[in-house]
Amino acid sequence: MHTSRRTVLAAAIAAAAAAGTGAAASPALAAPAGHAPGAAPRGHAPGRPADRLVDNAFWAGRHDWRTGTSRGVRTLAGRRPALAIADAAGTTDYADPHTGTTATWEYATWTAPVHRSSVSATEIIAHWNAETPAGTWLQVELKGRYSDGTDTPWYVMGRWTAGDGDGDIRRTSVDGQADGRSSISTDTFALDDESGTLRVVSYQLRLTLYRRPGTRLTPAVYRIGAMASAVPARFTVATSTPGLARELRVPSYSQDIHKGQYPQYDNGGEAWCSPTSTSMVLGYWGHGPSKAETAWVDPSYADPQVDNAARYTYDYQYEGCGNWPFNAAYAASHGLSAAVTRLGSLNDIETLVGAGIPVITSQSFLASELTGAGYGTSGHLMAIVGFTADGDVIAHDPASEDDAAVRNVYKRSEFETIWLRTKRHNASGGVSSGSGGVVYVYWPPRPTGTQERALRSFGLL
């Protein structure tokens, strides 16, 4: 479980306004001039009902990399062509707020062409798939164009590395980014007033790759993309008609058995729902950390892959393991493709499960709103692995006392509401936010034909 990003958004906006703070700038880099039209990215799939609310776009592969603007990058050949540093564009100093150290880094950049979203968006979440050897890291930024023709600043959407050893920065989101009309809450760009007429109609992503000076090390970025959405404010949703009865054989891991483990990574237990869910789906695909990679975990702890995922998804600014793109990036660093998006109904999850792809969902609810859960939460992740003959949801819910208790069946109507709504009444009687259908989707680099069709139908491939 994790605190909902939108419940802390107002405080972040107020703090930024009081300090007169804008977006954090990319070190030593000037923003590209203007918003010139560019080649369309892959992603958006016209015709689906969900596309009226969600636009997925991504860049991956040689053709896509050529559509952007490069400074010091090259494309690595292979089955998964990747952006990498060629000859660095320059050097810059980075003062790591979480280690207190300042170091000099070489950098190179790739800026995506402008993407005009198929929806006029109120929120945008970026994601990336990459490898970062020790001594390298990357930064992802976003700049949007408002519907009134003006631009946002360049917002930092994440500073990421797969490791946390000597010579690495600490993975971090960046607080205090705002321009008076939009702001960043951990991993999510959002308009401050989603009920108004202002929207974001297009955006650019900028990727900056960093390495220690004088080395030939480099990050390798296989994919970068974003999900733009305009999900309306809603407390309830209509229940979809069941269309699938199937259950995938996904491993069962409990977060609760890790309670009190590694306080430096948010203390295990209820704080580890996201890395626990990610570990279950990695295990389903036969991917994940090796025994050597989990050798640092206390050998008395069960499911050390969960501890590993918590450590390497931990956001040092957020002080938790629930950063959505960081979880997707962790999965991708273990050989999968990964994206963060929103889906429109349980029928959409049925499409993916029917293709053999489990889905990780984000939801919040009171204990009385989800029969059989036995708890309430301001934000929780679980893996959806199938559907019963009656259409109810088979969830591997990590908020369970042990691994054997992880498989749960939840009522379709209740689950669909707590996952898709954007507003909810909390335990104190006030109004809090909901995820609006956020999911993680992980799939193998060589999906089957059925999996390809399912992923393409949502603009993910």
Summarize pLDDT for 54-107 with one digit per residue, the tens.
999 999 999 999 999 999 999 998 888 999 999 999 999 999 999 999 999 999
Note the pLDDT of residue 165.
Answer: 87
Quickly list H helices, 296-405: 304-313, 324-333, 346-354
Say if residue 243's pLDDT is above 80.
yes
Note the pLDDT of residue 44.
Answer: 57
Burial of 430: CB neighbours in 10 Å, binned 0-12, 13-18, 19+: exposed
Predicted confidence (pLDDT) per residue in 173-205, tens digit: 999 999 999 999 999 999 999 999 999 999 999
CA pair distance 78, 62, nearest whole angstrom: 10
Q: Which residue has the higher pLDDT, 14 or 83?
A: 83
Predicted confidence (pLDDT) per residue in 367-383, tens digit: 999 999 999 999 999 99
Note the pLDDT of residue 42.
Answer: 63
Q: 365 φ, ψ to 5°? A: -170, 160
Query: Above pLDDT 90, what percent of the chain?
Result: 87
Q: Are 266 and 323 in contact (CB under 8 A)?
A: no
Q: pLDDT grade, residue 43 (50/70/90)?
A: low
Q: What is the CA radius of gyration of the chain?
A: 21
CA pair distance 149, 199, nearest whole angstrom: 10
3-state secondary structure of 137: strand
Predicted confidence (pLDDT) per residue in 272-305, tens digit: 999 999 999 999 999 999 999 999 999 999 999 9
Q: Are 190 and 228 in contact (CB under 8 A)?
A: no
Q: Which residues of 112-241 form beta strands (DSSP E)?
A: 115-121, 123-131, 136-146, 155-160, 182-185, 188-191, 200-211, 220-229
Q: Are 256 and 289 in contact (CB under 8 A)?
A: no
Residue 341 CA to chain centroid, in angstroms? 8
Query: Could you say which DSSP state residue 178 is in?
Result: B
Say if residue 386's pLDDT is above 90.
yes
Quickly list H helices, 237-392: 273-285, 304-313, 324-333, 346-354
CA pair distance 449, 371, nearest whole angstrom: 37
Predicted confidence (pLDDT) per residue in 298-334, tens digit: 999 999 999 999 999 999 999 999 999 999 999 999 9
Predicted confidence (pLDDT) per residue in 120-150, tens digit: 999 999 999 999 999 999 999 999 999 999 9
Q: What is the model's pTM?
A: 0.91
CA pair distance 184, 169, nearest whole angstrom: 21
Q: Are 402 and 332 in contact (CB under 8 A)?
A: no
CA pair distance 158, 173, nearest whole angstrom: 5
Predicted confidence (pLDDT) per residue in 332-343, tens digit: 999 999 999 999
Q: pLDDT grade, residue 21 (50/70/90)?
A: very low
What value does the mean pLDDT take over residues 28-40?
Answer: 39
Q: Which residue has the higher pLDDT, 105 or 28?
A: 105
Strands 73-76 and 90-95: unpaired
Say if residue 6's pLDDT is above 80.
no
CA pair distance 134, 145, nearest whole angstrom: 35
Paired tokens of 452: 């390809």
Q: Which residue has the higher pLDDT, 27 or 198?
A: 198
Note the pLDDT of residue 89.
Answer: 95
As a whole number, the mean pLDDT across the chain is: 90
Predicted confidence (pLDDT) per residue in 444-459, tens digit: 999 999 999 999 999 9
Q: Are 127 and 460 in contact (CB under 8 A)?
A: no
Could you write out the DSSP letters of every residue in 24-93?
A: PPPTT-PPPSS--B-PPPEE--TT-GGGGTEEEEEE-SHHHHHTSEEESEEEE-SSS-EEEESS-SEEEE
Paired tokens of 432: 């809090």
> Between the CA of residue 262 and those of 161, 184, 269, 271, what are the distances in Å?
20, 28, 10, 11
Partnered with residue 136 across adjacent β-strands are: 211
**Structure-derived torsion over alpha carbons of residues 444, 388, 391, 287, reported in degrees to the nearest 10:** -10
Say if residue 398's pLDDT is above 80.
yes
